[in-house]
Structures are given as structure tokens and as C-alpha cells.
Amino acid sequence: MNFECVSPGLSTGTAAFGIVLAGKVASDQLIVNGFEPLKLHDATLAVLQAEGYLNANDVKSIVEAGKAKRPPRFR
């Protein structure tokens, strides 16, 4: 797997952002209006699999397609 080496770009007061570069943002956690979209997505995939709409290979394919090609790595 290839990684993109980056340095932290912005820090203000109590808010610190890992990367802010030309439209890129990387974070370990994202909360929007009280929801964590990644947890919501995982739960949706789990329900679709449990109800028989997706099988384990379908879920694996969806997860693999969503992975970053070059995840950021801090220097």
C-alpha cells in the first residue's frame, strides 16, 4: 500500500486539524449533526447483509471500493 506523507497544516485554539491541503481533509473521527457517518454506513451494510440483500463478498467489495488509494501518513 502506498502512503502519502503529509505534515499537519492547521491548528487553532482547541480545534486542531490533521490535514488541510487543497481540498483534502483527513480525520480519525467525523461527527455531523450528532451522527458518525462511518458508523451509520457500517450499520446500514450490516442490516442489508442480515436481511439477505447483500452477502459477505458484496460487503467486502463495497468496503474495498471505499478505501483511499493513498492514505495520508504523518511525518
When pLDDT is cut at 50, 70 and 90, the band that residue 16 belongs to is low
Position 59 scores a pLDDT of 96
pTM for this one?
0.61
**Residue whose C-alpha cell is 447483500:** 54
% of the chain surpassing 90 pLDDT: 39
**Residue 50 one-letter amino acid:** A
Give the Cα separation of 54 and 64 in Å (integer).
Answer: 15
pLDDT digits (tens, 9 = 90+) for 25-37: 667 778 888 899 9
Q: Render pLDDT for 37-56 as a digit per residue (tens, 0 to 9).
A: 989 999 999 999 999 999 99
38-41-42-48 Cα dihedral, nearest 10 degrees: 180
